[in-house]
Chain A
Amino acid sequence: MTTALLPAEGIRLGLTASDRFDAVRMSGEVLVEIGAVDPPYIEAMLERERGISTSLGEGFAIPHGTEDSRRHIRQTMLSFLQFPAGVAWDDDDVIVCVGIAAVGDEHVGVLANLARVLSVPEQAARLRSAERIEDVLALLGADAEAVT
């Protein structure tokens, strides 16, 4: 079976969230919808967020579950949720949540691209303000497909 790591239906632009935990829950719900995880994974994502924040800076957070919750992952996939108005998160305002469900290392390439985008402020700004799903995929180089 061939599945995109970050399928178009996993990219949701122009959302609003009431707070960071709402944003994490939404990131998890999209992972459920695209078939990446079973619902209990969402609670693990919230647990992880209560422990150590997944806010990275530059307006990005990468909510994901705990090691113990890997059993709820069906396949390695990512979600991308954009909150243009920002979500208060520690000392930062998070605009983009990249939800992660990973059993192996298939997603390393996409996260590596994210790391590189974040190290170039203009690119990070373009990703934060992306208005089209294709732009998100192009910036993250996520149009490649992964074999699972």
Chain B
Amino acid sequence: MTQIQGNDVHKLVVACEAGMGSSVLLVTQLRDRLKDTGVEVVHSPVSQIPEDADVIVSHRGLEATARSLAPGKVVVTFDMFLGDPAFDRVVGAIKDGTTLEG
């Protein structure tokens, strides 16, 4: 587990295996919810997570891969694509400037 302050999040990366399906959908939803915060939200295959990512959001099934390919970064995992509480946790921490663990 690592942590980051919500105010320090500038780039959020949604990572999935192929980077063509679920991550694209989630980026839209998170971008809508974070549109007033200035946080950049992008999607990526888990194998190509950008160096400057502050927070990585990925499906639980990809957590180990994400952690090994992006060591030291906060990785927030979810189980459900729609309505998972993990998304509320990320959005809440960024908007309120609180601590995000993952």
Contact = CB atoms under 8 A, between A and B. Distances in A.
Interface of A: 48, 51-52, 54-58, 62, 64-67, 69-70, 100-102, 105, 107-108, 111-112, 114-116, 118-119
B47 interface: yes
B28 A100 contact: no
A76 B40 CA distance: 25
A64 B20 contact: yes
Contacts of A107: 20, 24
B92 to A, nearest CB: 18
Given A48-B18, A67-B47, A56 B62 contact: no
Contact of B21 (A54, A70, A105, A119): A54
Interface of B: 17-22, 24-26, 28-29, 32, 45, 47, 59, 61-62, 80-83
A54 B22 contact: yes
B81 to A, nearest CB: 4
Contacts of B25: 56, 62, 111-112, 114-115
Nearest to B30: A115
A115 B18 contact: no
B18 A65 contact: yes
B59 A111 contact: no
A11 B29 CA distance: 25
B21 A116 contact: no
